[in-house]
Amino acid sequence: MMSRSLAQSFGFISLGVIAMIVVMPILLVVGTIVARGISAINWEFISSMPHGGMREGGILPAIVGTLLLTLGTALVAVPIGVGGAIYLSEYARDTRLTRAIRLAIVNLAGIPSIVYGLFGLGMFVLFFRFGTSILAGSLTLAIMTLPVIISTAEEALRAVPQEFRTVSASLGGSRWQAVQNIVLPQALPGIITGIILGLLRAAGETAPILFTVAAFYLPRLPTSPLDQTMALPYHLYVISTQVPGMPTSIQYGTALVLLALVLSLNIVATVIRSHFRRRRQW
Amino acid sequence: MMGIARARANHLRPAGGESRRPATAAGEFVIEALIRVLGFSTVGFVVLIFIFLLREGLPVFVEVPLHGIFSTLWYPTFKLFGTLPLILGSILVTVASIVIALPLGVATAVFVREVAPRWAREILKPVIEVLAGIPSVVLGFFGMAYVAPMVRELLGAPTGLTAFSGALLLAYMALPTIISVAEDALDSVPRSYRDAGLAMGATRWQTIWRVVVPAGKSGILTAVMLGMGRAIGETMAVMMVTGNAAVMPTSLSFLFKPVRTMTATIAAEMGEVARGSTHYHALFGIGIILFMLTFLINLAAAKAIFQKKRRGGLR
Amino acid sequence: MVETNNLSQTPLRVLTPLRQGQGRPPREGAIPKVRIQGLSYWYSGKASLEGVTMDIPDKAVTVLFGPAGGGKTTLMRLINRLNDMVEDTHMTGRILLDGDDIYAPDVDVLHLRRRVGMVFALPLPLPGTICDNVLYGPRLAGERDATTLSEVVERSLRQAALWTEVKDRLDAPALSLSGGQQQRLCIARSLALEPEVLLLDEPTSGLDPISTAKVEESLFELRERYAVVIVPHSVQQAARVADYAAFFLAGEMVERGNGPQVFTSPRDKRTEDYVTGRFG
């Protein structure tokens, strides 16, 4: 019969082991992709067009496409998201409408990415006749990113102490003046962190762009928002499932580029968050 | 020097030039109206999504009789649109992934919150955040390259592209959500519970499993629901490792055979479908089913969270 | 000045020397700056003020004192309409500023709040420099001229008895000041708008005695130009600064009058009990 403290030590250790079971594969994934993909990374890879049925050459159009899509997403999702967050944090009262808005946000957050793809196809590609285009893809990704931005931005705004608003009002300031001069600037680091986190998610998504923008093989750069484009996530999917005889180094190299993009944005967001947390003025 | 406000004016409605110029007041009105509109937009988007899904998906319920839609054969080329194999495939993979992820996630959450020394926490948290950031297509790629062959060898099966491989990947993708919500649930258990347990002579281990975790049960349940919602909606990773065979998973052994999920079906087949054909409508119909499923799951989870907040539990 | 009162058993008294000119009567025929008439106020169904009627004279210090929950802070927040933002409330009665009802429908609330300034219990500097804090109100009101602004900074900081301590570091962050200095900064901030009424809600409750003395000192300058209303954080402070005093108990204004008189020979037994420390 094990003594209780022995049982406890055993228990704690097994928890630790389980935590390792969680952690090791993550490191394995990242490590493998880095190790096996790094050989493919060179300037040519990043800066030139694919050729030879994509078995040779670079992935420039995919990189550019992803960057453009991310930019487009930001242009739409940021104003709507931050505006919505300001409404919820500063203006909304606890009415049924407000609760409906919050429910809507929770639901938008839970909708599968492929359903967003269907929606984008139905509304932007077909109904608005944008065709498969950067425009359609960005709009679809933007709506998908909206809940993340609204939630984190609202949290950042609410974290600003209520006293600031009270003081501003007692000095003859209107609600918008308080937001503009005090609340928004103080919440900005948190808002920016949320935006970056949302955007990095959008950059890595494949399903929403499958039917709305992604091109299989387009060895030139897009010239207008109505153009199709390649994109990194879709490209990775294609070259790992649809192209026979694809050199694995290119597959890993593409995965590495995508992973590096996403992880570096993650690091930027984390750095911003911790840096400004230390410099808070309350 | 009375540029500001007033010279001891004795009225509350300022004369012209005394308070802010009316132009800014009007500009402010526009801004506030705009903000209100943006606030309501989310409701508008949910409605829009539903409308467009219906628009393209409803025809299938007209063109295919209901018993056909829920039959057991999905062979679009033969005009057979039975969605049951797909629904059951999704459910199989999702449930299996939760079975894997729940103990892992709760144990990790307990470890991080209650047991781990500071240095371990400082390593664990960033790594879990990294996991949350890995795109699903990258995980799917890794799954194809490593996990599937490993499963195949371990089981001596003809292929490693099975429901189980998908469940494994999905479990890891759901882990950050489950861990984070479970951590919150453990956090919200009042300190007095732990103190009471220890004061009665229980070890920390016993206190954790007999007092704290049961107290956080509802939060953990919420974590499960959110994790399920995430798993059932996942597309790329499952598409790349589950083998995509639309067969009816009638027994547990199908865990180690290829299956097909609803999400993978839409993603794989939409590209080759003629607009306006029954197949096209059927795929949108599956989208409607997915939308409603995740709607219900998230509704339940949100209700649980709001209730908890109102009772003062979860912060 | 120690007096015993026939009503009390123990000669426990607040020992405070009177200030020069404290408790002087208002000028003949002057309209009170703020008049409160029959004011009752309910919050979430519970009455926090009942039938309050009193005048607040100009160029004097009026003290609202009493135990916690008496409605003093609520009353002040009604005078500058800061309670507008609170939901589920109901009010009857009127508050007049220079004879105008401040709750009339066409009143510009923002303008009102520039005429009635408020200082809160804890020092609450806004993010930014000392200069930013003082000029926050004027800038919101649209003042842009640099000369005017720098004059405003100096004047306000002088009136708040802070100028000499900070005049060389106006661009320092406001948080670099001590607690007492921050509170005087908040006073300067309110003064920058040249209000007519200044409401102070326990302004020295978080401060050490020296800072407290400095703030009370500045009050004696301020009452030369403004109608000052203050909720003190102790009876002693109330007695030190009051020209006029009103005692509040559970939402009811029990007694008011000339400062020294209320504290040394109150008319109502409840006032006396509180002032002598029998409860509170």
CB contacts of A259 in chain B (<8 Å) are 134-135, 138
Tell which wins on pLDDT, B67 or B268. B268
Q: Given CA atoms B216, B218, B221, B226 in this order, what sign does their dihedral have? A: negative
Partner residue opposite C140 with nearest CB, options A177, A185, A186: A177
For residue B280, being part of any structural domain is answered with: yes
Q: Which one, of C75, C88, C80, lies nearest residue C107 by Cα? A: C80
Q: Which of C58, C80, C115 to mutate to test the interface with B (most CBs of B within 10 A)?
A: C115
Q: How far is A123 from chain B (nearest CA, A)?
A: 7
Determine the length of chain B: 315
Listed range (A62-71, B43-52, B170-179, C217-226) with the worst mean pLDDT: C217-226
CA angle A234, A235, A238 (to 5 degrees): 85
Mapped onto helix, strand or coil, the DSSP state of residue A17 is: helix
Q: Copy the structure tokens of residue B188.
A: 């919200």
User: How many domains is chain B partitioned into structurally?
Assistant: 1
Would you give per-residue pLDDT tens digits along chain A (282 residues)?
567 778 888 888 888 888 889 999 999 999 999 999 888 888 878 888 877 767 777 888 899 999 999 999 999 999 999 999 999 999 988 888 898 998 899 889 999 999 999 999 999 999 999 989 999 999 999 999 999 999 999 999 999 999 999 999 999 999 999 999 999 999 999 999 999 999 999 999 999 999 999 888 888 888 888 888 999 999 999 999 888 888 888 899 999 999 999 999 999 998 998 888 887 777
Partner residue opposite B6 with nearest CB, options C107, C115, C152: C115
End-to-end Cα distance, chain C:
23
Query: Which residues, 6+ apart, have CB-to-CB distance to A76 below 8 Å?
Result: A138, A139, A142
pLDDT at A219: 81
How many other CB atoms sit within 10 Å of the CB of residue A134? 24
Residues B84-104 have a mean pLDDT of 92
Confidence of residue C88 (pLDDT cuts 50, 70, 90): confident
**Per-residue CA distances from A112 to A260, A273, B93, B130 (Å):** 25, 28, 15, 21
How far apart CA C57 and CA B202 sit, in angstroms, is: 67
Q: How far is C14 from chain A (nearest CA, A)?
A: 34
For residue B32, being part of any structural domain is answered with: no
Say yes or no for a CB contact (<8 Å) between A171 and C189: yes
For residue B56, being part of any structural domain is answered with: no
> Is residue B204 within 8 angstroms of chain C, CB to CB?
no
Beta strands C227-231 and C197-201, pairing class:
parallel
How far apart CA C38 and CA C49 sit, in angstroms, is: 10
pLDDT at B189: 83
Burial of C142 (0-12, 13-18, 19+ CB in 10 A): middle
For residues A138 and A226, the answer to whether their CB atoms sit within 8 Å is no
pLDDT at C39: 92
Query: Which residues, 6+ apart, have CB-to-CB distance to C204 below 8 Å?
Result: C183, C211, C212, C215, C216, C233, C237
**Per-residue CA distances from A143 to A81, C57, C206 (Å):** 9, 59, 49
Helices then strands, counting H and E runs in chain C, come out as 10, 10
How far apart CA B171 and CA B174 sit, in angstroms, is: 5
Nearest CA in chain B to A127: B52
Confidence of residue C24 (pLDDT cuts 50, 70, 90): low
* DSSP string for A99-118: HHHHHHHHHHHHS-HHHHHH
Say yes or no for a CB contact (<8 Å) between C148 and B4: yes
Is the confidence metric ipTM above 0.95 for this complex? no
pTM comes to: 0.87
CATH number for the domain spanning B175: value is 1.10.3720.10
Phi-psi sector, A115: left (phi>0), alpha (psi -120 to 50), beta? alpha
How many other CB atoms sit within 10 Å of the CB of residue A57? 16
Q: What is the mean pLDDT of chain B?
A: 83
Q: Could you give the dihedral angle defined by the CA atoms of residues C153, C155, C159 and C164, in that order, rounded to the nearest 10 degrees? A: 70
Q: Which of residues 110-169 of A touch C (CB under 8 A)?
A: 163-164, 166-169
Partner residue opposite C110 with nearest CB, options B1, B4, B19: B19
Q: How far is A221 from chain B (nearest CA, A)?
A: 23
User: Domain span at residue B227?
Assistant: 66-310
Say how many CB pairs under 8 Å bridge B and C: 61
Confidence of residue C17 (pLDDT cuts 50, 70, 90): low
CB contacts of C138 in chain B (<8 Å) are 3-4
Q: Which of B4, B10, B24 to mutate to test the interface with C (most CBs of C within 10 A)?
A: B4
pLDDT at B9: 44
Query: Which residues, 6+ apart, have CB-to-CB distance to A245 below 8 Å?
Result: A55
pLDDT at A266: 92
Q: Is the pLDDT reported for residue B4 higher than 50?
A: no
Q: Which of residues 172-231 of B touch A (CB under 8 A)?
A: 172, 175, 203-206, 229-230
> Is residue B77 within 8 angstroms of chain C, CB to CB?
no
**Per-residue CA distances from B234 to A172, A235, B263, C255 (Å):** 51, 18, 7, 71
Q: Is the pLDDT reported for residue C5 higher than 70?
A: no
CB contacts of B301 in chain A (<8 Å) are 106
Query: Which residues, 6+ apart, have CB-to-CB distance to C269 below 8 Å?
Result: C7
Say how many CB pairs under 8 Å bridge A and B: 254
The neighbouring-strand residues paired with C248 are C253
For residues A116 and B266, the answer to whether their CB atoms sit within 8 Å is no
Q: Which of C80, C143, C194 to mutate to test the interface with B (most CBs of B within 10 A)?
A: C194
For residue B306, being part of any structural domain is answered with: yes
pLDDT at C28: 55
Confidence of residue C223 (pLDDT cuts 50, 70, 90): confident
Residues C183-196 have a mean pLDDT of 92
SS3 string, A179-246, reads HHHHHHHHHHHHHHHHHHHHHHHHHHCCHHHHCCCECCCCCCCCCCCCCCECCHHHHHHHHHHCCCCC
Query: Which residues, 6+ apart, have CB-to-CB distance to B190 below 8 Å?
Result: none
Say yes or no for a CB contact (<8 Å) between A164 and C127: yes
Q: Copy the structure tokens of residue C248.
A: 């509040």
Q: Which of B210, B236, B289 to mutate to test the interface with A (most CBs of A within 10 A)?
A: B236
Nearest CA in chain B to C150: B1
Q: Which of B29, B134, B222 to mutate to test the interface with A (most CBs of A within 10 A)?
A: B134
> Is residue B127 within 8 angstroms of chain C, CB to CB?
no
**Per-residue CA distances from B85 to B90, B91, B95, B250 (Å):** 9, 10, 15, 9
**Chains within contact range of chain A (3+ C-beta pairs < 8 Å):** B, C
For residues A48 and A57, the answer to whether their CB atoms sit within 8 Å is yes
Residue whose tokens read 């203050």: C230
CB contacts of C137 in chain A (<8 Å) are 171-173
For residue B36, being part of any structural domain is answered with: no
Helices then strands, counting H and E runs in chain B, come out as 14, 2
Q: How far is B86 from chain A (nearest CA, A)?
A: 15
Q: Is the pLDDT reported for residue C229 higher than 50?
A: yes
For residues B198 and B225, the answer to whether their CB atoms sit within 8 Å is no
Q: Is the pLDDT reported for residue C214 higher than 60?
A: yes
Which phi and psi angles does A271 have, rounded to 5°? -65, -45
Mapped onto helix, strand or coil, the DSSP state of residue C39 is: strand
pLDDT at C2: 45
How far apart CA B42 and CA B247 sit, in angstroms, is: 38
Partner residue opposite A266 with nearest CB, options B43, B129, B302: B129
Mapped onto helix, strand or coil, the DSSP state of residue C63 is: strand
Partner residue opposite A118 with nearest CB, options B115, B136, B287: B287
Say yes or no for a CB contact (<8 Å) between A172 and C111: yes
pLDDT at C25: 60
For residue B7, being part of any structural domain is answered with: no
Partner residue opposite B3 with nearest CB, options C106, C145, C196: C145
> Is residue B8 within 8 angstroms of chain C, CB to CB?
yes
> Is residue A127 within 8 angstroms of chain B, CB to CB?
yes
Q: In terms of CATH architecture, what is C34-124+195-275?
A: 3-Layer(aba) Sandwich (3.40)
So where are chain C's domains?
34-124+195-275
The neighbouring-strand residues paired with C62 are C229, C244
Q: Is the pLDDT reported for residue B19 higher than 60?
A: no
Query: Which residues, 6+ apart, have CB-to-CB distance to A156 below 8 Å?
Result: A85, A187, A188, A189, A190, A191, A193, A194
Is residue C91 within a helix (H) or strand (E), and if so which, with residue range? strand C89-97
Q: Copy the structure tokens of residue A144.
A: 């998908």
Q: What is the CA radius of gyration of chain B?
A: 27
Tell me, rounded to whole angstroms, the distance of Cα B14 from its chain centroid: 55
Domains and CATH numbers, chain A: 62-278 (1.10.3720.10)
How far apart CA C43 and CA C47 sit, in angstroms, is: 6
pLDDT at B315: 38
pLDDT at B142: 93
Q: Is the pLDDT reported for residue B296 higher than 70?
A: yes
Nearest CA in chain B to C112: B12
How far apart CA A21 and CA B105 sit, in angstroms, is: 11
For residue B219, being part of any structural domain is answered with: yes
